[in-house]
């Protein structure tokens, strides 16, 4: 679990500068913040050539791991924290076998290794914060036992703020940290439960920050999709299926397509009823057929594409017209597909919206509060068709609170929404009120 697991040019460039900066270790000893033994040890290795530092760590690795962490725990000057973090990262660079030297520090002091790093990750200094995130990720990812809540949760809270922020280095490091952590099942559950992280990742994807960032964000979503709870809810909460299709359609890099298709496979395998309707509505089936015809260097892509295509075709073939409508309704992405304007469809199916205690009607009505004018126009149109073709519908709509909302939409800024709201309200007021 190398330091290169989280790599960033800003961290590399500043680490090089920090290695050559002097730190007033003698001053710390005079202030009784550092013991004479600690001073002797740190001066032996600080600002030494890498080969010299390596030879010291080979013989005294555990001693220095404890020294760095203890000094980081008690010294709070920014330049000193920067130096100690670089020393820790340098000790770990290309030496995974040294990770236990740091994680075992808890045997000497229960605050180590995590308490000092969880403090420095809250620092105002960008380098200190991001270098701490890099080291925390290496240590946490390598733990052989489930991570403790008090170590993981504060870190995830900081990552949530970084991934939602506007600073490219912070966002880049945060996404890489999440990539590494999400390989652990307990981290997936914790990330899903941490407000802001998924929303931040989705927002990064929407901003199209390049193929590498797209790949890293989608890799995080793919890892998350192994959790059944996540697979069942992520599209409903974050509308990721149309976004992933859009990214895949524009992707030049094969690895981006590979991880998107693998994510779709997980979403279908883990939660088919939650995701297949949205996939059909957003035209994933024709896109998967298109992908099937392409040549890929990685055969796993075609295997996943075939799985996705087969599942979509099986579900598409068994769909009735009403099933198609419910699929579209469940996705929340209403558009003027033929069923909406078909009198035959509404005559045959309006009453079906009443089934299971008006379950489907209760999905339609909240769409009257959508932000998208197209969704609003189609939703209020459908409400009018329901009332027009189901004589008891007027009372049902009124009881469910949708009549008032339809009337509000008659003054909406969008002319299509106003028109369809007016027609729907005319159906609502012109039909006799049937209660029996």
Burial label for 32, CB within 10 Å (0-12, 13-18, 19+), is exposed
Mean pLDDT within 181-186: 96
In this model, does residue 422 exceed pLDDT 50? yes
Q: Is the pLDDT of residue 2 over 60?
A: no
Burial of 322 (0-12, 13-18, 19+ CB in 10 A): middle
Q: Once rounded to an integer, what is the mean pLDDT over residues 100-127?
A: 96
* Average confidence score pLDDT of the chain: 93
**Block residue for tokens 């007033």:** 24
Is 406:372 a contact under the CB 8 Å cutoff? Answer: no
Exposed, middle or buried by CB within 10 Å (0-12, 13-18, 19+), for 178?
A: buried
pLDDT confidence bin for 186, thresholds 50/70/90:
very high
Taking residues 291-300, report their average pLDDT. 90
Helix (H, G, I), strand (E, B) or coil at 328: helix
- What is the spatial distance between Cα 216 and Cα 200, in angstroms, rounded to a whole number? 13
Q: What is the predicted pLDDT for the residue at 62?
A: 96
> CA 367, CA 378: separation in Å to the nearest integer?
9
- Cα separation, 424 vs 436, whole angstroms: 22
Domains of the chain by range and CATH? 1-144 (no CATH), 146-319 (1.25.10.10), 323-429 (1.25.40.150)
Residue 278 reports pLDDT greater than 90: no
Q: Please report the pLDDT score of residue 3 as a whole number.
A: 60
Kindly report the three-state secondary structure assignment for every residue of 163-214.
Answer: HHCCCHHHHHHHHHHHHHHCCCHHHHHHHHHCCCHHHHHHHHHHCCCCHHHH
| Among the listed residues 1, 3, 2, 8, the one whose alpha carbon sits nearest the alpha carbon of residue 216 | 8
* pLDDT of amino acid 317: 74
Confidence of residue 260 (pLDDT cuts 50, 70, 90): very high
Residue 4 has what pLDDT? 63
Provide, rounded to the nearest whole percent, the portion of the chain with pLDDT above 70.
Answer: 97
Per-residue pLDDT, 436: 43
- Residue 367 pLDDT > 60: yes
CA max distance for the chain: 94
Q: Is the pLDDT of residue 431 over 70?
A: no
- pTM, whole model, 2 decimals? 0.83
Confidence band of 282 (pLDDT split at 50, 70, 90):
confident
């Amino acid at each position: 679990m190398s330091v290169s697991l989280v790599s960033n040019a800003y961290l590399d460039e500043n680490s090089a500068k920090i290695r050559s900066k002097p730190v007033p270790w003698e001053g710390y000893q005079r202030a009784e913040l550092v013991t004479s033994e600690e001073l002797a040890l740190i001066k032996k290795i600080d600002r030494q050539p890498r080969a010299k530092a390596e030879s010291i760590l080979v013989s005294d690795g555990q001693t220095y791991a404890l020294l760095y962490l203890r000094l980081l725990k008690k010294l709070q000057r920014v330049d000193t924290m920067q130096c100690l973090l670089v020393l820790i990262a340098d000790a770990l660079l290309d030496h995974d076998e040294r990770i236990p030297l740091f994680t075992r520090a808890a045997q000497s002091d229960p605050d180590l290794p995590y308490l000092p790093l969880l403090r420095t990750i809250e620092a105002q200094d960008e380098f200190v914060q991001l270098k701490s995130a890099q080291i925390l990720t290496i240590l946490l990812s390598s733990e052989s036992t489930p991570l403790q809540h008090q170590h993981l949760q504060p870190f995830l809270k900081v990552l949530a703020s970084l991934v939602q922020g506007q600073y490219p280095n912070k966002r880049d490091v945060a996404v890489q940290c999440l990539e590494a952590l999400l390989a652990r099942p307990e981290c997936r559950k914790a990330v899903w439960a941490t407000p802001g992280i998924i929303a931040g990742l989705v927002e990064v994807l929407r901003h199209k920050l390049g193929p590498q960032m797209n790949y890293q964000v989608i890799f995080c979503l793919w890892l998350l999709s192994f959790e059944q709870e996540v697979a069942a809810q992520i599209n409903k909460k974050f509308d990721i299926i149309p976004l992933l299709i859009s990214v895949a359609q524009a992707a030049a890099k094969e690895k981006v397509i590979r991880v998107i298709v693998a994510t779709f496979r997980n979403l279908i395998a883990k939660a088919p009823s939650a995701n297949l309707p949205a996939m059909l509505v957003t035209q994933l089936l024709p896109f998967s057929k298109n992908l099937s015809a392409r040549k890929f260097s990685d055969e796993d892509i075609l295997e996943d594409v075939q799985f996705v295509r087969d599942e979509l075709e099986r579900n598409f073939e068994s769909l009735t017209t009403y099933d198609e409508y419910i699929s579209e309704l469940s996705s929340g992405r209403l558009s003027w597909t033929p069923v909406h304007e078909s009198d035959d469809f509404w005559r045959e199916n309006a009453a079906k919206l009443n089934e299971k205690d008006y379950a489907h009607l209760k999905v339609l009505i909240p769409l009257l509060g959508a932000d998208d004018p197209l969704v609003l126009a189609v939703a209020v149109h459908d409400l009018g068709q329901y009332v027009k073709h189901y004589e008891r519908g007027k009372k049902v709509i009124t009881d469910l609170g949708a009549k008032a909302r339809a009337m509000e939409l008659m003054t909406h800024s969008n002319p299509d929404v106003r028109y369809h709201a007016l027609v729907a309200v005319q159906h609502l007021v012109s039909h006799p009120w049937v209660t029996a």
